[in-house]
Chain A
Amino acid sequence: AQSVTQLGSHVSVSEGALVLLRCNYSSSVPPYLFWYVQYPNQGLQLLLKYTSAATLVKGINGFEAEFKKSETSFHLTKPSAHMSDAAEYFCAVTSYSSASKIIFGSGTRLSIRP
């Protein structure tokens, strides 16, 4: 069985500060890992994905995430937060056998302080 745990349901940072959203995964097979973002009243948009290539994955809007097998983590970071980054962020896991059956975490709401 696969699962993800997102640590912190709400994270607040100042504009220009580092963004760090934490995700730990559990998987009995090599995982594919994703970060999605959801803006109010919208569907989910892919930020980045890890599929066993480079462990440091760069995504859209300046976000990146590092796959650490020893820590079973896939934390999302951005060096400098922007007001437009305020949204809900979801970590997700699946495997090669069926990449569409994605299992999502419970989400982290990111707020940006002026």
Chain B
Amino acid sequence: AQKITQTQPGMFVQEKEAVTLDCTYDTSDPSYGLFWYKQPSSGEMIFLIYQGSYDQQNATEGRYSLNFQKARKSANLVISASQLGDSAMYFCANLEAIAGGGADGLTFGKGTHLIIQP
């Protein structure tokens, strides 16, 4: 069963508009963490923002904010005032205990390809 679902394979957005990238997750672990990563065409994975399952407030990092709705199991990324340089793949990931292991691992969604148009 897919644990991280990103329902938007691709999005086109006008420059300076706000963008919301959807992410829903499925976990039975009460302690987990949700991440968003940006992967530009150059290929590297760039950390954007983190939300812990027990955090009371939504995480924010500059132009990035996370709309965390725990009851709905959603963790949508909001990018305010989009820029051309925001064009990239965006991945949502859940950090939880690896089954039978002694560490936590990231489970990734399939990603959303965001294209910012001038």
A and B interact: no
Q: Which positions in A face B, CB cutoff 8 Å?
A: none
